[in-house]
Amino acid sequence: MGLRTNSQADLGIDTPEGAGRSRMTTNRPRFRHLLTTPVGIATLAIASVAAQFLAVATAAGADTLVARSVCEAHELRALKEENPDLEIEVPKEFDTPWPSRSACLSHEAALDEDTPGLVQPIPFSHKHHAGKFGIDCLYCHSGTDRSPAAGVPSVELCMGCHLQFPASYDELSGIRTLKEHWEKQEPIEWLQVHRLPEHVQFRHNRHLQADPEVTCQECHGLVEEFDKIFVLKDTKWWPWGLPTQTLEMGWCIQCHREKKISQDCYTCHY
């Protein structure tokens, strides 16, 4: 990424495999097993970011790591905190807090093709927006409690927030893509992740209005901890010891059974 140094060994820098891992944790036993499955793999994204800074910092003859972006500057400062003897340089144009380090890391993680989930046209991180800043699901997916479909936020809604951010955020490719769509007045062509067969009538509003309410996390997982959205791997066990997987009919029926909701065929097939 354009950093310069003589060598990692000369500077006494070690790069542990788990450096900078995402702190993806949950108190819900139901999802705890995910930390050692595909979601656990996804948490390596932050570690890979820090590793990249050191991996490219091998130009001979230099003894200082020089940041060439705001995101690199954040990582260099983090590295210097771990190794005070490390010499770094942050040019004036990159000496700004924006984009924030969390925005840089989440953006990079959402672009990682090796982690579960599709790489979207804009690397939107639910972990950054819903997790760190606590943006409610219904703010972006407005009308979900009144409509059969969840829908996706409009470009106008996204820009309502991002027009207030400093221009330095344009360093992130996702922000540039968002602004390009806004200027051209074009919708974002998001890639669909969750899809049920056409003969299944799933209505978001009926589930959100149910008593007890079905939370987004029950079907989609702890999205506030995910940088990329993917179909949650979850197993529900029928009373007779039969396993059923996410979005399978038995998975939905077991949920209906547990919540004492109708299991009649016409509930979902009509």
- Among the ranges given (67-71, 208-212, 215-219, 265-269), the one the predictor scored with the smallest mean pLDDT: 208-212
**Parallel, antiparallel or unpaired: strands 235-237 and 243-245:** antiparallel
Which of residues 39 and 211 earns the better pLDDT score? 211
Q: Which of 125, 135, 121 is nearest to 103 (CA)?
A: 125
Q: Determine the angle formed by the axes of helices 44-55 and 101-110, rounding to 10 degrees.
A: 100
Question: Could you tell me if 98 and 217 lie in one domain?
Answer: no
Placement of tokens 């969390």 in the chain: 102
Segment 240-255 mean pLDDT: 92
What residue type is 98 in one-letter code? W
Alpha-carbon gap, residue 203 to 147, rounded angstroms: 7
Residue 189 domain-assigned (yes or no):
no
| pLDDT value at residue 54 | 53
Question: Could you tell me if 29 and 64 lie in one domain?
Answer: yes
> What confidence tens digit (pLDDT) does each residue in 148-162 have?
999 899 999 999 999
The conformation of residue 63, written as its DSSP 8-state character, comes to: -
In the structure encoding, which two tokens stand for residue 165, read together? 């951010």
| pLDDT value at residue 188 | 96
In the structure encoding, which two tokens stand for residue 234, read together? 């979850």
- Residue 54's domain comprises 8-184
Question: Could you tell me if 40 and 167 lie in one domain?
Answer: yes
Question: Could you tell me if 20 and 141 lie in one domain?
Answer: yes
> What confidence tens digit (pLDDT) does each residue in 194-238 have?
999 999 999 999 999 998 889 999 999 999 999 999 998 999 998
Q: Which helix (H) or strand (E) holds 258?
A: helix 249-258
Residue 194 domain-assigned (yes or no):
no
* Residue 144, pLDDT above cutoff 60: yes
Domain tally, the chain: 2
Alpha-carbon gap, residue 88 to 122, rounded angstroms: 31
Question: Could you tell me if 178 and 68 lie in one domain?
Answer: yes
Residue 197 domain-assigned (yes or no):
no
